[in-house]
A and B are shown apart, each in its own frame.
Chain A
């Protein structure tokens, strides 16, 4: 029987990975709100964030901060490319919802295979941002990277909140999410807003990938679990609400960490996917629905 220390330790681990899920979940929401599309390739940005950063660190030998500064725009560029090359032409031709979802899923496999061919199938990782650690609180070990994830996560959420409430572009994006036609009539360039949403979402995924890689490893195929878990986080939070996605991510991360203690590491994804099915079937508006002032049904 697992003891209290193991439980506390797993909750600490769960919080750090849960925050990452939350960031990915916000990425889903940003694109969904701007375009009405769920981008199944969201996990690819997380994978690219970790892989590109690692490749820059090892092959060029540049300092971490520079690698991060280069990685984020590079991955954001891949998001823009996805919008311009795949999503926009399909929307312009009136493709069905399932066809667009399928195209993003195909894009995910394509990016994964290209990464596999160019960078190989070896799992990679890099040092934590701050060496030393872990911090010991009694018998519970807390890696320094957790504080980086917590700090950057909080900063990002604050920055996003400021962006969506204080800037013209952010407000325009919110207008698009409420009613795209009305937004168009008001003179908001809806197409450009979609491009912005894909870039922003990809950048968020890249940051999540850069932050999480030191705590585990990254490889060409880590995208799908991150994408699916991020989606679950978004669903738990009631799709489309950024704050909900973050809370959903934390909840999912902790649940998954507890599942690892109870069921063993192998079944963590099965546990998460089962949570997804339960939430979809029992609380299709998210488990926080009804608490918010404008809970809307999908």
Chain B
């Protein structure tokens, strides 16, 4: 029996998708971005929320995924699915190589080192014009396809993105409840205590980092297919801050927080018309407000109503 706390968010996401499908292609596009960001934030949540670390450079892996998929599909005629998987493997290996030395750092140094990683990849995506076409961006990326069947319309792609986002959350949740996931929770609680329990801290952090990178890479690839065009600006500092706004708004360290945050932050600027050019100011204002007044986010508010149950869920 699946508990209602799991069924309710799934049902809400499906209903929302249905409303989106009925209200035209613009709403579909907005929701599509929300689900792509859900995948990105779910990975970030795994590393930050569950493991208690920080990465300000996840955009680097999204860039690898996005550019990798774009180049493989547009120039080499690969199918979207193999390209997605291959770029995820590349991102995973990159995360492994980069994370091994970097994750020994703590606090400010970890924050700045990961931030630098994001900036390095951003600069490279601008300067390595023979590969990435620089500021011009990369266009002509084909839409998603599954088993030779191309998802030509945005509506079909939206449904696929919904399924993928839910699948991503499912995997993340299963991992969290595994022995490995409990080890991560122990690290987040106290590194010294976790070490005393015999947990290999460096290895666990590294694996969590790689998992987050895989999610980021997949989100980058999906973005490239959904929009059909990518440029360096997509994977800039704004992406980092926007994803953090989603994560903290939805509730960091919770299962559904990333999706709730991604949907709200994506829809909000659309709901408040005339705010278009103020979009980034709105994100940052929301983020700062949340960080000061409700650091546990909206998902944290539910514990006010169902104290006993949610406590149990968080400790699981």
A-side residues, CB < 8 A to B, are 38, 40, 86, 89-90, 93, 95-103, 105-107, 109-110, 113-114, 117, 224, 228, 231, 235, 239, 266-267, 269-270, 273-274, 276-277, 280-281, 284, 298
Query: Is the CB–CB distance between B111 and A101 below 8 Å?
Result: yes
The interface bits of chain B over 120-140 (1 if a CB of A lies within 8 angstroms of the residue's CB, else 0) are: 100110110000000000000
Complex Cα distance, B119 from A276, in Å, reads 12
Chain A to chain B contacts (Cβ below 8 Å), 8 pairs: A90-B291, A101-B108, A103-B292, A105-B115, A105-B240, A109-B238, A266-B127, A277-B116
Is A105 within 8 A of B241, CB to CB? Answer: yes
Within the complex, the shortest CB–CB distance from B309 to chain A, in Å, comes to 26
User: Closest residue to B56 on the A side, CB-wise?
Assistant: A105
B122 CB to nearest A CB, Å: 9
Q: In the complex the two chains form, is B292's CB within 8 Å of A269's CB?
A: no
Task: Report whether A284 and B292 are in contact in the complex, using a CB–CB cutoff of 8 Å.
Answer: no
B291 near A280: Cβ-Cβ < 8 Å = no
Q: Taking A99-B291, A269-B119, A284-B109 as contacts, is the C-beta distance between A113 and B281 under 8 angstroms? A: yes
Judge whether B292 and A93 touch: CB under 8 Å: yes
Dominant secondary structure of chain A at its interface with chain B:
helix
A116 to B126, CA, bound (A): 21
- Contact call A281/B102, Cβ cutoff below 8 A: yes
- Taking a contact as CB atoms closer than 8 A, the residue among B101, B119, B127, B280 that contacts A267 in the complex is B127
Report Cα–Cα, A89/B281, bound state, in Å.
Answer: 20
Chain B residues near A90: list those with CB within 8 A.
291-292
Interface residues of B in 96-117 (CB under 8 A from A): 101-102, 104-105, 107-109, 111-113, 115-117
Q: Does B146 belong to the interface (CB within 8 Å)?
A: no
Closest approach, in angstroms, between the C-beta of B254 and any C-beta of chain A?
16
Residues of A contacting B295 in the complex (Cβ-Cβ under 8 angstroms): 93, 95-96, 99
Q: Cα distance A225–B117 when bound, in Å?
A: 14
Contacts between the two chains (Cβ within 8 Å), count: 120
- B112 and A102 contacting across the interface, CB-CB below 8 Å: no
In the bound assembly, the distance between CA atoms of A95 and B292 in angstroms comes to 8
For B288, the chain A residues whose CB sits under 8 A away are: 86, 103, 106-107, 110
Q: How far is the CB of A122 from chain B (nearest CB, A)?
A: 16
A109–B280 CB distance below 8 A:
yes
Chain B residues, CB < 8 A from A110:
280-281, 284-285, 288
- Contact with B112, one of A38, A100, A103, A224 (Cβ below 8 angstroms): A38
Instruction: Tell me if B112 and A231 are in contact (CB < 8 A).
Output: yes
Inter-chain contact B292/A86, CB cutoff 8 Å: yes
Is A107 within 8 A of B284, CB to CB? yes
Contact for A106 among B111, B117, B241, CB less than 8 A: B241
The answer to whether A102 touches B277 (Cβ under 8 A) is no
Interchain CB contact under 8 A, A224 and B119:
yes
Chain B 266-280, CB-CB to A under 8 Å as 1, else 0, gives 000000000001101
Q: Does B67 count as interface, using CB distance less than 8 angstroms?
A: no
When A and B form their complex, which 9 residue pairs have the shortest distance between CB atoms, in order from nearest?
A266-B127, A110-B284, A106-B284, A98-B54, A38-B108, A273-B116, A113-B280, A106-B287, A273-B120
What A residues does B126 contact at CB under 8 A? 266
The minimal Cβ–Cβ distance linking B161 to chain A, given in whole angstroms, is 26
Q: A95-B291, A280-B105 are in contact. Are A117 and B111 (CB under 8 A)?
A: no
Roughly how many angstroms separate A106 CA and B124 CA in the complex, as a whole number?
23
Min C-beta distance of A57 to chain B, whole Å = 26
How many whole Å from B277's CB to the nearest CB in chain A?
Answer: 7
**Given A102-B244, A109-B280, A117-B277, A267:B291 Cβ within 8 A:** no
Which residues of chain B have C-beta atoms less than 8 A from A280's C-beta?
A: 102, 105, 109, 112-113
Hey, which chain B residues are within 8 Å of A277, CB to CB? Answer: 101-102, 113, 116-117
B88 at the interface (CB under 8 A from A): no
Is the Cβ of B111 less than 8 Å from the Cβ of A103? no
